[in-house]
Amino acid sequence: MELRDFFKTHPRCALGFSGGTDSAYLLAEALRLGAEVKPFFVRTAFQPELEAADAARLCAALGVELTVIEYGILSHENVRENGPERCYHCKKALFSLICGRAAAEGPGAVIDGTNASDDVGGRPGWRAMGELGVLSPLRMCGIGKDEVRRRSRELGLFTADKCAYACLATRVPTGMEIRPEDLRRIERAEEALAAMGFYDFRCRLTPEGFARIELRDGQLERGFGLRREICAALGADFPRVTLDLKGR
């Protein structure tokens, strides 16, 4: 099946939109194919400002209205406690919101940007979306990440080479309660590292409250060379800053 066939069958859709490479391409291609797609960005404590800004920028460039839903995800105890099923409960809550809004506005499918390269076997969130009937056109059409990036470049999307950015909750160790103040200091740390020119990295919180930075192999040497600058930038938020020598 091609995307053209999917949107011919589902001409009206609500898209769970993150502003990332996959959902950006899916939105652009759906609009190009003449589908009526409404993007929904559910804004929680888990999304950094960068993602919200990219989502708004992409929709403005495509000339489509972005619906932003503010949601207190940490009000869910089973999300806040951050157990092994945290992603399931989170996705169930977020896509239930989108499904509810979509149903209120008329018939149509609810879709997301999961692609054919994504390993969904160990993803509780994927199970939650399946229970809600959310469809993944890229996956259904066999379109993987490399193809998404190639097609995005052809369409001139600024998200074509954007690094994957998992939600901030993934920076907190499983079993450790997720607190808003921890998410904010993680976000500030990653903003500081990005300003230094690092990319596709993670700043993870350790059980002791320290920062553990994971850089790609090609950036490890530079990270070590800038260790004083990094410690100075992150020192106000973290009593200790470490660099994971295994890399990311």
pLDDT tens-digit map of 88-120: 999 999 999 999 998 888 778 999 999 998 776
Which pLDDT does position 96 carry in this prediction? 96
Q: Are residues 28 and 118 in the same domain?
A: yes
Q: Which domain holds residue 83?
A: 3-155
User: Does 174 fall in a domain?
Assistant: no
User: Does 88 fall in a domain?
Assistant: yes
pLDDT tens-digit map of 11-65: 999 999 998 999 999 999 999 999 999 999 999 999 988 899 999 999 999 999 9
Q: Are residues 61 and 104 in the same domain?
A: yes
Overall domain count for the chain: 2
User: Does 84 fall in a domain?
Assistant: yes
Which pLDDT does position 55 carry in this prediction? 94
Q: Are residues 145 and 42 in the same domain?
A: yes
Q: Are residues 34 and 125 in the same domain?
A: yes
Q: Are residues 151 and 183 in the same domain?
A: no
CA-to-CA distance for 15 and 185, rounded, in angstroms?
30
Token pair 């369409």 is found at: 155
User: Does 122 fall in a domain?
Assistant: yes
Q: Is the pLDDT of residue 196 over 80?
A: yes
Q: Is the pLDDT of residue 163 over 90?
A: no
Q: Are residues 141 and 198 in the same domain?
A: no
Closest alpha carbon to 145 in 134, 161, 157, 158: 161
Residue 189 contacts residue 238 (beta carbons within 8 Å): yes
C-alpha pair distances (Å), 92 with each of 127, 173, 197, 206, 211: 9, 21, 35, 27, 29
DSSP strand pairing (211-214 vs 202-205): antiparallel
Closest alpha carbon to 37 in 109, 100, 99: 109
